[in-house]
Amino acid sequence: MVLGIEDETCVVYGIGEKSPFKISDAISNMISDACIPQIEPDISIQTVENKTILVIDIVPGDFKPYYLVAKGKENSSYIRINGTSRPADPRKLQELELEG
């Protein structure tokens, strides 16, 4: 995910902050606190066209399924099917747990 660049037009707006480290830390904390198992995003601060952007990379983890603490496993576990995200049914959740 890239913050500071418009999705459709690719226009660089930047994040408009004098403290990109504060934003990076806040995003990292939100992601880590909201998910189980805990996710550790790789966030890099970069400069494009003299504007500061954030690049957030989350690699696939080993301990599936990942879900939102606030919603619970059954209500916030999704799977990707082609270009779509779909709720994981109970059988798929069990399969993901066995995978790791």
pLDDT in tens, 25-76: 999 999 999 999 999 999 999 999 999 999 999 998 889 999 999 999 999 9
Q: 12 phi and psi, to 5 degrees?
A: -90, 115
The owner of tokens 């909201």 is: 34
Tell me the whole-structure pTM to 2 decimals.
0.79
Query: Token pair for residue 81?
Result: 């099917």
Burial (CB count within 10 angstroms: exposed 0-12, middle 13-18, buried 19+), residue 43 = buried
The runs of H, that is alpha helices, within the chain are 20-34, 73-76, 90-99
- Containing domain of residue 82, as a range? 2-99
Domain count of the fold of the chain: 1
Residues 3-30: tens digit of each pLDDT: 999 999 999 999 987 899 999 999 999 9
